[in-house]
Structure 1
Amino acid sequence: MSFRLSLRTKTILAAVLLPFAITACESRVNVRGNFPDPDDVSQLETGVSSRRDVAELLGSPSTLSTFKDQVWYYIGEKVEKTAFYDPVVLDRKVLVISFSPEGKLTESRSYALEDGRVIDPVTRETPTEGQDLTIVQQLLGNLGKFNPSAGE
């Protein structure tokens, strides 16, 4: 028993499936975080602008410094993802805004993707105390160590 499709059925099937096949490999660009407008950043004045002024102009920061809120970070990133490949970072910007204890702007610095550094994680393992036993040693290790009369 052979199963044959007519030319018309094949054409309709191809027309329906082709858009799905094409879009499956299409790359997507995701924008994450906060990219403050450079014109807005240039309006900030050192020693004059307050935390409130910065928040009204740039919006809320992506994150704050660990202790108190004397340093604000505005972090934005554009990432391209294509099918099953690893994502590729197209653009990354970090705006660091520092405040005095009185809440006035003391400094603003901007970093781009080129300013970042690649960090190589340590791959060594921490040794643990005890013996390294094979599965057979673990299974047979307790033979003869239990006294059946002790439970009576």
Structure 2
Amino acid sequence: MTAIRNRVVSAMALCCLIVVTACSATYRNHGYVPHDEDLQNLVVGVDTRATVDDTVGPPSLSGMLGDGNYYYVRSRIREFGMYRPEVVERQILAISFNGDNTIANIERFDLADGNLVPLSRRVTDSSVVNNGFLRQMLGNFGNLNPVDAFN
């Protein structure tokens, strides 16, 4: 009888261990931001884009044009059970350049410096939100071309 009791207790302990480990938070890290030691080698007003690429590596994001500023972004996201993933840390290193491609400024930003901005948003608005079935059908009559029906 004690052998069965020991097995039941062991099984219950194993189940409790599985439940406890399933509820632990997991973290995902994305991106790269250079360390301060690497940035000390860069001199504002002297070093160029090529020097930045050689010293700290290419950026994860750059400005809209090819001659835009450099942005290094690193995010840490916590996932906990059934809850929505939460960004717990985001660091942004912005290196801006002058017209002659020398470094104008080096700035570091954090979540505490501003609002959380999503890096991508994948939402498509529906064009048929307030249109009923008949309105959609009647709206298609002007879009029909009889030549397309016979080809």
* TM beyond 0.5: yes
TM tier relative to shorter chain:
0.5 to 0.7
Q: 2:22 aligns with which of 24, 48, 53?
A: 24
Change beyond 3 A, Cα 1:20–1:97: same
Shift of residue 14, structure 1, vs aligned partner: 2.4
Structure 1: gaps (5+ residues): 139-152
What is the TM-score when the length of structure 2 is the normalising length?
0.67
Amino acid at match of 1:64: S
Structure having the larger proportion of residues in helix: 2
Q: Which runs of at least 4 in structure 1 moved beyond 6 Å after TM superposition?
A: none
- 1:90 pairs with 2:88: yes
Larger Rg: 1
2:141 match = none
2:132 match = 132
1:141 match = none
Number of corresponding residues: 127
Structure 2: gaps (5+ residues): 138-151
CA contact (8 A) 1:70 1:101 kept: no
Shift of residue 24, structure 1, vs aligned partner: 0.3
1:57 match = 55
- Separation in 1, partners of 2:106, 2:62: 14
- Separation in 2, partners of 1:62, 1:127: 34
What is the TM-score when the length of structure 1 is the normalising length?
0.67
Percent identity over the alignment is 23
Shift of residue 31, structure 1, vs aligned partner: 2.0
